[in-house]
């Protein structure tokens, strides 16, 4: 619609709705007007005064993509065979087998996310996912760290470690699986959906581009650093991901608004009603479904937005009327015209043919020429007031050619 391809936009909206909806359906016309209104406001100078916070919303989308990579998911996706071999002590064959099983559980966990993403909302799903990932990394770090410290205090056996260390390390394998389940159900899908919902119409492409670029840049950094981290830090390497996942929970709670059960236009109105970064203070920005009072407040803002839109649309018409005012004043000072109308395209002219009833009585000493046309009628008629006749007008009425020339000037 920003490219003025409105017919194609309506066709897409009808296809998305389905269920026998047509272009004339109420739901389509209402959504079309809402989108059109939002674009009109965002592309106008009035948008400067609307507290839509576009830059903060870009930062939220970029942050969501960054946090997805900083959960440590690619430590497991790329290097789980290495992790199981070097950190846990499993054989190469068993490490590869468990990595395949883990990837399968990761795939199946994404279907859990499909079920809960609308029932729980984006915020809760991300917070629950981050909390589960934090617990998984913490237990992995504790088990591997405890085993390594116990081995350091004793003499290693023939396999290079104590029996207790190997048992603790193998117990940690379960939590690599649990981590992938929490990530697949929570962060795998939401981190790609959230930036498209949170950004304004004008900044959506920019915000999504920055988010995806950030995702792959951090992905490269994590993959590049993981082998060195495992070799140099041992179990302490997993403490890094433990701390990061713990930090994500309050970050989402304090700064990330809920976007489920809200249209893109409602999200704009939500930020306009509460222009703040600390969204946790406002229930309308954090609850999965807005309350009746929240909806009423947003509808009030929508009414104000419509008034602004009408003002923006009517302003050029008013300016045009002011521009044409001197022309109308000039016509008013012309005594040759008795009654006229200013018409739009497609004007029609009536009574241009002289009639006997339109001629003055010759006995009264008046001219026998035709009177001016009584009406110039068109689809948008705006007639001016009648002008008083002058002696010159009574003695010499204009010809049809003069009337046509005068009318064409308007």
Average pLDDT, the chain: 75
| Short-list 44, 50, 52, CA closest to 309 | 44
- Encoded tokens for 3: 């490219």
25 lies in the same domain as 73: no
Query: Among the listed ranges 110-124, 148-162, 366-380, which one has the minimum average pLDDT value?
Result: 366-380
Query: Which is more confidently placed, 394 or 278?
Result: 278
57 lies in the same domain as 192: yes
Residue 324 domain-assigned? Answer: no
Phi–psi pair at 141, nearest 5 degrees: -65, -40
Note the pLDDT tens digit of each residue in 269-302: 888 888 889 999 888 888 887 666 666 666 565 5
175 lies in the same domain as 216: yes
| Residue 59 pLDDT exceeds 90 | yes
Cα separation, 90 vs 8, whole angstroms: 58
CA distances from 328 to 265, 324, 325, 336, 385 (A): 43, 7, 5, 14, 11
Residue 99 domain-assigned? Answer: yes
Range of the domain at 38: 1-43
What does the pLDDT read at residue 24? 85
166 lies in the same domain as 235: yes
Query: Which is more confidently placed, 388 or 27?
Result: 27
Q: Into how many domains does the chain fold?
A: 3
- Encoded tokens for 222: 């994590």
- Encoded tokens for 146: 């405890």
| Residue 142 pLDDT exceeds 70 | yes
Residue 212 domain-assigned? Answer: yes
What does the pLDDT read at residue 326? 52
4 lies in the same domain as 150: no
Cα separation, 348 vs 90, whole angstroms: 93
Residues 6+ away with beta carbon under 8 Å from 244: 70, 71, 72
How many CB atoms are closer than 10 A to CB 108? 12
114 lies in the same domain as 29: no
Torsion of the alpha carbons at 286, 287, 291 and 293, rounded to the nearest 10: -20
240 lies in the same domain as 380: no
| Short-list 310, 298, 232, 228, CA closest to 269 | 298
Q: Which of 207, 233, 256 is the last residue of a domain?
A: 256
Taking a C-beta distance cutoff of 8 angstroms, is the pair 396, 369 a contact? yes
Overall average pLDDT of the 83-102 stretch: 86
| Residue 362 pLDDT exceeds 50 | no
- The three-class DSSP label of residue 346 is coil
Query: Measured at the alpha carbon of residue 180, what is the angle toward residues 242 and 239, in degrees to the nearest 5?
Result: 15
- Encoded tokens for 275: 């222009």
What does the pLDDT read at residue 311? 56
| Short-list 239, 221, 261, 255, CA closest to 64 | 255
Taking a C-beta distance cutoff of 8 angstroms, is the pair 259, 198 a contact? yes
| Residue 406 pLDDT exceeds 50 | no
Query: Which is more confidently placed, 272 or 315?
Result: 272
Q: Which of 218, 240, 256 is the last residue of a domain?
A: 256
Cα separation, 282 vs 29, whole angstroms: 31
27 lies in the same domain as 64: no
Q: What is the DSSP string of 266-316?
A: HHHHHHHHS--S-GGG-HHHHSSS--HHHHHHHHHHHHHHHHHHHHHHHHH
- Encoded tokens for 311: 């003002």
Q: Is the pTM of this model over 0.75?
A: no
What does the pLDDT read at residue 123? 94
Overall average pLDDT of the 376-393 stretch: 39
70 lies in the same domain as 211: yes
What does the pLDDT read at residue 148? 75
Residue 389 domain-assigned? Answer: yes
What does the pLDDT read at residue 50? 56
23 lies in the same domain as 159: no
- The three-class DSSP label of residue 68 is helix
Taking a C-beta distance cutoff of 8 angstroms, is the pair 352, 403 a contact? yes
What does the pLDDT read at residue 338? 46
Chain centre to alpha carbon of residue 321: 36
What does the pLDDT read at residue 404? 44
Note the pLDDT tens digit of each residue in 154-165: 655 555 556 666
| Residue 103 pLDDT exceeds 60 | yes
| Residue 221 pLDDT exceeds 60 | yes
Taking a C-beta distance cutoff of 8 angstroms, is the pair 371, 358 a contact? yes
Residue 20 domain-assigned? Answer: yes
| Residue 41 pLDDT exceeds 70 | no
| Residue 244 pLDDT exceeds 80 | yes
Taking a C-beta distance cutoff of 8 angstroms, is the pair 182, 136 a contact? yes
157 lies in the same domain as 194: yes
Residues 6+ away with beta carbon under 8 Å from 39: 1, 2, 201
Query: Among the listed ranges 225-239, 309-323, 337-351, which one has the minimum average pLDDT value?
Result: 337-351
| Residue 116 pLDDT exceeds 70 | yes
247 lies in the same domain as 342: no
What does the pLDDT read at residue 274? 87
What does the pLDDT read at residue 57? 94
- Encoded tokens for 325: 């005012």
Q: Which of 256, 289, 315 is the last residue of a domain?
A: 256
Of the spans 48-52, 106-110, 333-337, which averages the highest pLDDT? Answer: 106-110
Residue 363 domain-assigned? Answer: no
What is the torsional sign of CA 234, 236, 237, 238? positive
What does the pLDDT read at residue 172? 86
Cα separation, 74 vs 179, whole angstroms: 12
Residue 107 domain-assigned? Answer: yes
Query: Among the listed ranges 39-48, 265-274, 278-287, 365-374, which one has the minimum average pLDDT value?
Result: 365-374
Q: Quick one: pLDDT band at residue 226, thresholds 50, 70, 90?
A: very high
| Residue 47 pLDDT exceeds 60 | no
Query: Among the listed ranges 143-147, 336-340, 386-390, which one has the minimum average pLDDT value?
Result: 386-390
- Encoded tokens for 89: 């002590």
Residues 6+ away with beta carbon under 8 Å from 408: none
């Amino acid at each position: 619609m920003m490219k003025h391809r409105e017919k194609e936009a309506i066709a897409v909206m009808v296809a998305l709705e389905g269920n026998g909806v047509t272009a004339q359906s109420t739901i389509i016309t209402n959504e079309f007007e809402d989108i059109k209104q939002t674009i009109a406001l965002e592309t106008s100078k009035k948008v400067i005064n609307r507290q839509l916070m576009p830059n903060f919303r870009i930062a939220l989308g970029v942050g969501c993509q960054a946090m997805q990579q900083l959960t440590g998911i690619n430590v497991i996706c790329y290097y789980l065979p290495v992790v199981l071999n070097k950190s846990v002590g499993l054989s190469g064959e068993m490490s590869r087998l468990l990595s395949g099983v883990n990837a399968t559980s990761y795939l199946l966990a994404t279907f859990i996310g499909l079920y809960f993403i609308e029932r729980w909302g984006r915020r809760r799903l991300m917070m629950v996912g981050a909390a589960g990932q934090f617990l998984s990394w913490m237990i992995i770090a504790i088990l591997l760290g405890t085993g390594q410290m116990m081995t350091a205090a004793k003499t290693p056996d023939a396999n290079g470690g104590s029996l207790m260390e190997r048992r603790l390390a193998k117990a940690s394998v379960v939590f690599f699986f649990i981590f992938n389940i929490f990530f697949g159900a929570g962060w795998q899908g939401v981190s790609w959906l959230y930036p498209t919902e949170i950004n304004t119409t004008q900044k959506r492409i920019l915000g999504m581009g920055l988010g995806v670029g950030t995702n792959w840049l951090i992905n490269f950094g994590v993959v590049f650093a993981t082998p060195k981290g495992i070799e140099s830090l041992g179990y302490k390497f997993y403490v890094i991901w433990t701390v990061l996942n713990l930090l994500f929970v309050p970050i989402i709670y304090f700064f990330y608004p809920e976007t489920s059960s809200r249209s893109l236009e409602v999200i704009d109105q939500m930020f306009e009603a509460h222009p703040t970064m600390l969204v946790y203070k406002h229930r309308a920005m954090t609850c999965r479904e807005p309350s009746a009072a929240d909806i009423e407040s947003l509808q009030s803002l929508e009414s104000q937005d419509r008034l602004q839109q009408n003002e923006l649309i009517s302003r050029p018409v008013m300016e045009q009327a002011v521009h044409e005012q001197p022309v109308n004043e000039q016509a008013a000072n012309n005594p040759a015209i008795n009654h006229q109308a200013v018409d739009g395209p497609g004007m029609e002219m009536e009574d241009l043919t002289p009639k006997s009833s339109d001629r003055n009585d010759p006995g009264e000493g008046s001219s026998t020429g035709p009177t001016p046309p009584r009406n110039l009628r068109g689809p948008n008629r705006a007639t001016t007031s009648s002008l008083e006749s002058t002696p010159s007008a009574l003695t010499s009425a204009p010809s049809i050619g003069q009337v046509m020339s005068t009318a064409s000037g308007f």
